[in-house]
Amino acid sequence: MATTAASKKAKAVFWDKDKCAKPSCRCGKSSIEVLLDWLSVTDKDGRFVNYLRWKGGVKPKKKGAETKGNVASSIIRMLQDDHNLVRNQEAVLAKLTELHTSHNAARDFLEDTGRRVRDRLDAQYADKTDPAYIAQLAPVQAAALKLCKHYDTLAPIMADRPDARPDARPDARNGSKNGSEDGSGDGNEDGSEDGSGDGEGNEQGVGDVVAQEDQRDAAAGDHIALANDSSGDELEQHEALSDDGSSSENARPPPRGQRKRSSSSDNNPAKRRTPVKSLVRQLDAQITAGDRTAKELVALRTSELAHKIQVREEEVRLRRDAHKLNVRTQRHAEIMAIADLRRQLGLPAQDILDYVDSATRALDAS
């Protein structure tokens, strides 16, 4: 049965391999084309509002704030309702991030390597329509499209919101530091707020537990006080019955020869109050033991919550470090890809080494 279920499971469909199957639409567009159309929507001021919605998606600290998850959900509904295309939230968020990252890589390549090639060709050819000029510039455009397949569509959309990653160009090292600071603020601020938020919540939880234990102690004290009062009343009644001679044991008159001796024994205050003092001591011991147990329980629960807070903070730190490592690895791969494209374009080896060195230093500084 498991094998049959696995065989019936639908295979993943690439974003550019499916087509709109809505009978009322029949546009024939794939998921990526529909997503690019969604990103290209502008308002009356010419702003790409959907892209700004996604870039402005933040955690809902205030009432009414829109999250990236909400934006992805609206895209999922649009794909399903308008085009009969099915995508989940994780896939939509990953595709949007991929488009943004690939656009930034192609833009950096054109602003650095592409600009240098263009400057060299401009110095050699006065006519920009010369076939030789166009032929030598074509590999640069092809390399940019290799880094970002949809760069021509994304360039005007994402140009109004420059990326905050460090610039790897040698002539922009001073600006890279500020850029990296802005970028780290965008990437890590949410994670740090998550971690700190968890810590504050756990600290508040400790206070709640302590307050609850204090209330329990107070209730226990009231109960013990009532027990003391009831015990005292019962003891007083017992003494009254003993003094009046109305107890069940004294209901029958004692023998004639023992009347005087028993009456003198009953009238001895020291012998009559000995059980009362013993009961009071036992009750005090029980109260002390109960207080000690309640305090130990509060201390134990506080220690457990403090340990949970510490574990949670460590998990947040590890996730943040893993994210930084992942971003660094991805950026390093982009640097090496750009260096390889430079090598294919026939740029001097020293320029390639200088680029790799400067880009690596900028990455380390971030």
Could you tell me what percent of the chain has a pLDDT over 70?
A: 60
Q: Does residue 219 have a pLDDT over 70? A: no
pLDDT band at residue 332 using 50, 70 and 90 as cut-offs? confident
**Which tokens go with 152?**
């021509």
Side chain identity, residue 25: C
Look at residue 323 in the predicted model and tell me its pLDDT. Answer: 87
pLDDT band at residue 277 using 50, 70 and 90 as cut-offs? low
Residue 249 is classified by DSSP as S
**C-alpha span between 133 and 31 (Å, rounded):** 37
Cβ within 8 Å of residue 232, ≥6 positions away: none
Q: Does residue 69 have a pLDDT over 60? A: yes
pTM of the model: 0.43
| Average pLDDT over every residue of 307-330 | 88
Q: Does residue 352 have a pLDDT over 80? A: yes
Q: Does residue 306 have a pLDDT over 70? A: yes
Look at residue 191 in the predicted model and tell me its pLDDT. Answer: 37
Least confident piece of the model among 8-22, 231-245, 274-288: 231-245
Side chain identity, residue 297: L
| Average pLDDT over every residue of 79-96 | 85
When comparing pLDDT for 226 and 320, which is higher? 320
Q: Which of 102, 82, 106, 88 is nearest to 33 (CA)?
A: 82
User: pLDDT (tens digit, 9 = 90+) per residue, 158-201?
Assistant: 875 444 444 444 444 344 334 434 433 343 334 333 333 343 44
Enumerate the domain spans of the chain: 184-242+276-366
Q: Which of 139, 153, 12, 136 is nearest to 86 (CA)?
A: 12
**C-alpha span between 5 and 9 (Å, rounded):** 6
**Residue reference for tokens 């009969």:** 84
Look at residue 309 in the predicted model and tell me its pLDDT. Answer: 92
Side chain identity, residue 144: A
Look at residue 53 in the predicted model and tell me its pLDDT. Answer: 85
Look at residue 284 in the predicted model and tell me its pLDDT. Answer: 72
Least confident piece of the model among 114-123, 159-168, 325-334: 159-168
> Cβ–Cβ contacts within 10 Å for residue 104, how many?
20
| Average pLDDT over every residue of 221-248 | 46
**C-alpha span between 66 and 54 (Å, rounded):** 9
Q: Does residue 258 have a pLDDT over 60? A: no
Average pLDDT, the chain: 70
From residue 81, alpha-carbon distances to 14, 25, 69, 78, 140 in Å are 19, 10, 18, 5, 40
Cβ within 8 Å of residue 92, ≥6 positions away: 35, 72, 75, 76
Q: Does residue 204 have a pLDDT over 50? A: no
| Average pLDDT over every residue of 255-269 | 50
Residues listed for the chain: 366
Three-class SS state of 21: coil
**C-alpha span between 145 and 341 (Å, rounded):** 12
Dihedral sign from CA coordinates of 11, 15, 18, 22: positive
When comparing pLDDT for 5 and 24, which is higher? 24
